[in-house]
Amino acid sequence: VAKPLEVNELADWLDHFAGQGGDARYSILVVDDDPLLAEAYALALRRAGMVVTLVSDPSRAIDALSAAQPDLILMDVQMPGVDGIELARVIRQTRRHLSVPIVFLSAEQDTGRQILARRLGGDDFIPKPVDLDRLVTLVRLRAERARSLRAVMESDSLTGLLNHARFKERLALELERARRDKTELCLAIIDLDHFKSVNDNHGHLVGDRVIRGLARSLQKHLRRTDVVGRYGGEEFAALLLGTPPAAAASLMSRIRERFSATPFDGAQGPFGVTFSAGIASSTRHPEAEALISAADACLYAAKRAGRNRVNW
């Protein structure tokens, strides 16, 4: 029976992502050919604690968008040489820019054009001259909602963990940070043992429950700053930040012991499940691909050695 998402569960996810998002300040891209107006918007938004990137040459908006990865775009409609509405249409052609809210600021009176602006991907239409208080409120609400939605969209629907693509993005980012700060991180790849027979013996719904159970236990026992993702079907991946491999292995071993001692309800009574894990360190493998291969190799060695173990 499909279970509806519980409210507190969703709150947990959002909370989890809030912890993983790092910088909580909203980042806003302002595109307006009038530098005085753009400065006025920027000042109001910055006073409200937001980070603002200004673009007065609309032909540079797309580049600025890719570089700044803003939570929201605030855009003029009438600009020399470029139509803001046309620009919105172009922005929406890129997959990663599909969900960023676009708020138009315009003296445009034509209702048809206003409708067109929304149809081509705009979210709001604020008439000029703009009330700055109202602008700041609307921008904050839109940015907040966009961030929450993105967090849910980019999470795995069964477990709420980062999905594969997002996890790999975080891996690249954390490796870069570790290199810069000269710290060490460990990648753990975790795979449920003989999971096919869990499905075969107890059914896929019970199997799903086991996957959720492992997700919970990883979230619960790793630090809030660590990063956990669902790497594949019954495979998970974790980044243990600032942790040498021996410490990462002993933490993962404790999680393994607890998990293997946790019974799940099956049709013929309670049963136990185990997992194996492979761990590799960024000190020995500073590149993402090599780090993943090394963790994978350790995981396979753990499987060959009899499963229910952590190898590094």
- Catalytic residues, by residue number, are 234
CB of 160 to ligand GH3, least distance (A): 14
265's contact among ligand GH3, Mg ion, none, with CB below 5 to 8 A by partner kind, is none
At its nearest, how many Å lie between ligand GH3 and the CB of residue 198?
Answer: 8
Selected binder of Mg ion within 14, 19, 33, 136 (CB under 5 A): 33
- Min separation Cβ 303 and Mg ion, Å: 8
Stretch of 172-180, 193-201, 215-223, 260-268 lying at the interface with Mg ion (CB under 5 A): 193-201
**Distance (Å, whole) CA 57 – CA 253:** 55
Instruction: Please choose, out of 75-83, 90-98, 130-138, 215-223, the segment that lies near Mg ion by the rule CB under 5 A.
Output: 75-83
d(C-alpha 66, C-alpha 18), whole Å: 22
Q: Is the peptide bond before 129 cis (omega within 30 degrees of 0)?
A: yes
Q: Specify the 3-state DSSP secondary structure of 26.
A: coil
User: What is the C-alpha to C-alpha distance for residues 212 and 91, in angstroms, rounded to an integer?
Assistant: 36
Q: Which does 78 bind (CB under 5 to 8 A by kind): Mg ion, ligand GH3, none?
A: Mg ion
Which of ligand GH3, Mg ion, none does residue 211 bind (CB under 5 to 8 Å by kind)? Answer: ligand GH3
CA separation for the pair 228, 235 (Å, rounded) = 11
Helix (H) or strand (E) holding 55: strand 51-55
What residues line the site for ligand GH3 (CB under 6 A)? Answer: 158, 191-196, 199, 204, 207-208, 211, 233-234, 303, 307
For Mg ion, the closer CB: 4 or 81: 81
Measured at the alpha carbon of residue 8, what is the angle toward residues 4 and 14, in degrees to the nearest 5?
100
Which range, of 32-40, 49-57, 245-253, 287-295, touches Mg ion by CB under 5 A? 32-40
Q: What is the dihedral of CA 107, 141, 48, 101, to 10 degrees?
A: -60
Q: Which does 33 bind (CB under 5 to 8 A by kind): ligand GH3, Mg ion, none?
A: Mg ion
| Encoded tokens for 144 | 């907040």
Binding test (CB under 5 A) with Mg ion, winner from 17, 55, 76, 102: 76
CB 231 within 8 A of CB 298: no
Q: How far apart are CA 134 and CA 309, in angstroms?
A: 57
Q: Which is nearer to Mg ion, 146 or 198 (CB)?
A: 198
- Using CB under 5 A, which residues numbered 258 to 277 contact Mg ion? none
Instruction: Residue 76: name its binding partner from ligand GH3, Mg ion, none (Cβ under 5 to 8 Å by kind).
Output: Mg ion
Between CA 22 and CA 25, with CA 24 as vertex, the angle to 5 degrees is: 130
Rounded Cα–Cα distance for residues 213 and 196 (Å): 16
Residue among 12 and 34 whose Cβ is closer to Mg ion = 34
- Kindly list the residues in this chain that would bind Mg ion in the complex (CB under 5 A): 33, 76, 78-79, 191-192, 195, 235
